[in-house]
Structure 1
Amino acid sequence: MRLTHVGGPTLLVELAGWTLLTDPTFDPPGRRYDFGWGTSSRKVTGPALDRGDLPPVDAVLLSHDHHADNLDDAGRALLPSAPVVVTTVAGAARLGDGARGLVPWASTVLTAPGRVPLVVTATPARHGPPLSRRVSGDVVGFAVHPQGAEGGVVWISGDTVFHRRLREVADRLTVDVAVLHLGGVRFPVTGPLRFSMTGRGAVRTARLLEPRVVVPVHHEGWSHFREGRDGVQRALDRAPDVGRRFRWLPSGVPVDVGG
C-alpha cells in the first residue's frame, strides 16, 4: 500500500492495483469560503500536487461534498474524470452523474478487468458535537479492502469528532491503517465547540481500534484549524503507547506503509 498526501484531506491511496483519491481539494490558497451558519475559513496552503500531476484515478472517496475544505472548485471539476465517486446519500443526490451514495455500513464494490474487486464500506462520522448534524450535514468515513482478502482494512475517518459510534468501527473491522482527519476545528460563532477530531481524540481512537499505522491528515492549510501537527504531537507525547503507531507523511511524496 502506498499513500501520497496531497494536502488537507486529499490523499492518493494505491492499494491492490487500485488508485483512489480522497476528498479532492486543489484550489490555490488565499480565498475565504463560506461554510454556512455564520462559519467560514480561508485556505492558507495550496496542494503539494496539481491535478495534472495525478495518475489516473479509479475512484474518488468523498466524505462530504458541502464543505470546500473537502471538495473545492478544482476538486469538483475533477469528479467527472473519475469512473466512480462514492459519498453520502445526500451528496450523491446533489452531485448526480451516477455518484454512489452510502449510508453507514452500506458497501459498494469496485470492479475492473484483471483486478481484485475492492470493497468500499461507509462508516459513521459525526462532524461536530451531539445534535450538530443540522449544522454540519451528513458525513461518512470509508473502510476499504480487497474482496476476499484476509487481514485488516484501510479506514479513512472522514471529518469527525471522537464519538460513541466509533465503537462500531472497532467492533466490526480489523483496521490495519487508520487515516484520521484531525485539526480540532472551531469557529468564533460557535465558541468552544469542536467540529473535527483533536489530538486527544486521535489517541482515544488509536487505542480503540489498535491499527498498525495511523496517518494524520487534514490538520493544516486552513484558518479554521485550531490544533496543527504540534498540538497533535503533544497529545502523542503523553501517550507513547499509541504515539509509536503514528506516521506523518511528507507532502506530495509517495510513502509505502506496507499492508
Structure 2
Amino acid sequence: MRLTHVGGPTLLIEVAGWRILTDPTFDPPGRRYDFGWGTGSRKVAGPALQPAELLPVDVVLLTHDHHADNLDDAGRAFLPSVPVVVTTASGGRRLGARGLAPWETTVLSAPGRPDVEVTATPARHGPPLSRPVAGDVVGFSLRWEGQDDGVLWISGDTVPFAGLREVAERLRVDVAVLHLGGVRFPVTGPLRYSMTGRQAARLTAQLDARVVVPVHYEGWSHFVQDRPAVERELAQAPDDVWRRFRWLPMGEPVEVGHQEVPPALGTVL
C-alpha cells in the first residue's frame, strides 16, 4: 500500500492497482470560506500536488461534500475527471454520485484488478445533536482480495461517539487514517468538531490498528491542534500507542508495509 498526503484531508491511496483519492482539496491558500451557521475558515496552505499530477484517479472517496475544507472549488471541478465518486447518501443525491449510508457497501470493479469493497462507516462531525447543523459525514472501510491483516479505514471528520466504538467492534483495522485538528469555532465556544490527539490515542487503543496515519490537521485556520499540538498529547499515551502513528511528508509517496508493533495495547489516556 502506497499513500501520498496531498494536504488537508486529501490522500492518494495506491493499492492492488487502484488509485483512490480522498476528499479532493486543491484551491490555493488565502480565501475564506463560509461553512454556515456563523462558522467559517481561511485556507492557509495549498496542496503539495496539483490535480494533473495525480491523474489518473479511479475513485474519489468523499466523506462529505458540503464543507470546503473537504471539497473546495478546484476539488469539485476535479470530480468529473474521475469515473467513480462515493460519498454520503445526501451527497450522492446532490452530486449524482454513489451515495452510502453508514454500513452500506459498494464494490469497485475493473478488469485485471481485484474488487475493492467500500463500506461507509459512521461519523459525527460535532457534539450531540449537531447533525442537522454539521450535516451528514461518513468514513470509509476498504477491503480487497489478499488483504489478510485487516481493512484500511478512513475516519472522516468526526468526534468520538458510539458509532466509532461500533467501528472498533465490527472491523479489524490494519491501517487507520484519522482526521484530526480538534476543530473549534468562536461562535460555539469549547465544542469540538473533529478529534484531538488525546482522543486519537484512545481510539487507536480501541481499534488496535497496526499503523495510524494522521491527516486534516493543517492548512486551515479553524484547526486548533496542528502536528506539534497533537504530538504533545500523544506523548502522554503509552509507547505502544504513539509508536503506531505515521506522519507522512507532504506530496511524497510512502510505502506503508508491515512493521513490528506490540501485540496488545496497554492502558489508555
Structure 2: stretches of 5+ with no match in the other structure? 259-269
Secondary structure of the equivalent of 1:251?
Answer: coil
Q: CA deviation at 1:147?
A: 4.1
User: What's the counterpart of residue 224 of structure 2?
Assistant: 226
Q: Which amino acid aligns with 2:254?
A: V
Preserved contact between residue 160 and residue 196 of structure 1 (Cα < 8 Å): yes
Structure 1: stretches of 5+ with no match in the other structure? none
Secondary structure of the equivalent of 2:257?
Answer: coil
Q: CA deviation at 1:235?
A: 1.2
**Cα deviations by residue, 1:107-133 (Å, 9 ceiling, x for unpaired):** 000000011000000000000001100
User: What's the counterpart of residue 246 of structure 1?
Assistant: 245
Report 1:175-254 matches (<5 A): 175-239=173-237, 240-254=239-253
Preserved contact between residue 119 and residue 147 of structure 1 (Cα < 8 Å): no
Cα separation, 2, equivalents of 1:191 and 1:4: 34
Report 1:124-163 matches (<5 A): 124-147=122-145, 149-163=147-161
Secondary structure of the equivalent of 1:150?
Answer: coil
**Cα deviations by residue, 1:85-142 (Å, 9 ceiling, x for unpaired):** 000000011111xx10001110000000011000000000000001100110000000
**Number of equivalences:** 257
Cα separation, 1, equivalents of 2:192 and 2:53: 34
Q: CA deviation at 1:165?
A: 1.4
Preserved contact between residue 183 and residue 226 of structure 1 (Cα < 8 Å): yes
User: What's the counterpart of residue 20 of structure 2?
Assistant: 20
TM-score by length of 1: 0.98
Cα separation, 2, equivalents of 1:150 and 1:241: 22
TM-score by length of 2: 0.94
How much is the aligned-residue C-alpha RMSD, in angstroms?
0.9
Q: CA deviation at 1:231?
A: 1.0
Preserved contact between residue 58 and residue 82 of structure 1 (Cα < 8 Å): yes
Cα separation, 2, equivalents of 1:147 and 1:103: 24
Secondary structure of the equivalent of 1:60?
Answer: strand
User: What's the counterpart of residue 88 of structure 1?
Assistant: 88
User: What's the counterpart of residue 119 of structure 2?
Assistant: 121
User: What's the counterpart of residue 65 of structure 1?
Assistant: 65
User: What's the counterpart of residue 7 of structure 1?
Assistant: 7
Secondary structure of the equivalent of 2:4?
Answer: strand
Percent of counterpart pairs with the same letter? 73
User: What's the counterpart of residue 267 of structure 2?
Assistant: none
Cα separation, 2, equivalents of 1:59 and 1:189: 36
